[in-house]
């Protein structure tokens, strides 16, 4: 297996996700970032904190095997979150993932973690995280487009 290729691909993917999410976030004000389409949907702020919670769960606890005071129930609670905290959370969370990937040895990439009663390699988990965060990125774009309508600027590279 080509671990260098996988690490480089993952780093580029997480950098792209971070950049595009920030481009969408920068188009919105605090009220818009905390707006949700209806009572059962999430705001952009909540989606970003959910991604951050997943980083805590899958990277810190799962790959690095460090303790985390993360509580999954807290990440989906609607609360008004300042724009600066949203931006910093995106920046710091994705930088942490990127730095972690850079530091992982081939052996560490092939170690496994238990995810929903299934053994997964850390490399597989990182690819799953990239897919998961991309799905939420799409939700963020959709909400931003609903708010901004014709004023929305594409985040495509």
Question: Whole-prediction pTM value?
Answer: 0.93
Higher pLDDT, 58 or 157: 58
pLDDT classification of 116: cutoffs 50, 70, 90: confident
**Which pLDDT does position 79 carry in this prediction?**
82
Q: Are 129 and 13 in contact (CB under 8 A)?
A: no
Segment 11-63, tens digit of pLDDT: 999 999 999 999 999 999 999 999 999 989 999 999 999 999 999 999 999 99
Query: Between the CA of residue 21 and those of 11, 40, 63, 68, what are the distances in Å?
Result: 15, 22, 24, 25
CA distance 32 to 67: 34
Both structure tokens of 45: 């702020």
CA distance 15 to 69: 26
pLDDT of 69 > 90? The answer is: no
The residues spanned by each domain of the chain are 3-151
DSSP 27: T
- CATH of 3-151 among 3.40.50.300, 1.20.120.450, 3.40.190.10, 2.40.40.20: 1.20.120.450
Q: Are 47 and 81 in contact (CB under 8 A)?
A: no
């Amino acid at each position: 297996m080509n671990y260098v290729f996988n690490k480089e691909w993952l780093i580029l993917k997480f950098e792209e996700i971070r950049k595009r999410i920030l481009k969408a976030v920068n188009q919105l004000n605090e009220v818009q970032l905390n707006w949700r389409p209806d009572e059962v949907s999430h705001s952009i702020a909540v989606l970003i904190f959910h991604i951050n919670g997943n980083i805590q769960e899958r990277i810190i606890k799962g790959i690095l095997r460090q303790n985390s005071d993360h509580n999954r129930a807290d990440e989906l609670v609607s609360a008004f979150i300042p724009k600066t905290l949203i931006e910093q959370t995106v920046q710091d969370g994705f930088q942490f993932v990127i730095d972690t990937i850079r530091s992982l040895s081939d052996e560490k990439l092939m170690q496994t973690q238990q995810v929903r009663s299934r053994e997964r390699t850390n490399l597989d988990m990182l690819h799953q995280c990239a897919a998961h965060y991309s799905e939420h990125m799409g939700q963020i774009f959709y909400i931003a487009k609903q708010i901004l309508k014709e004023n929305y600027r594409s985040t495509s590279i």
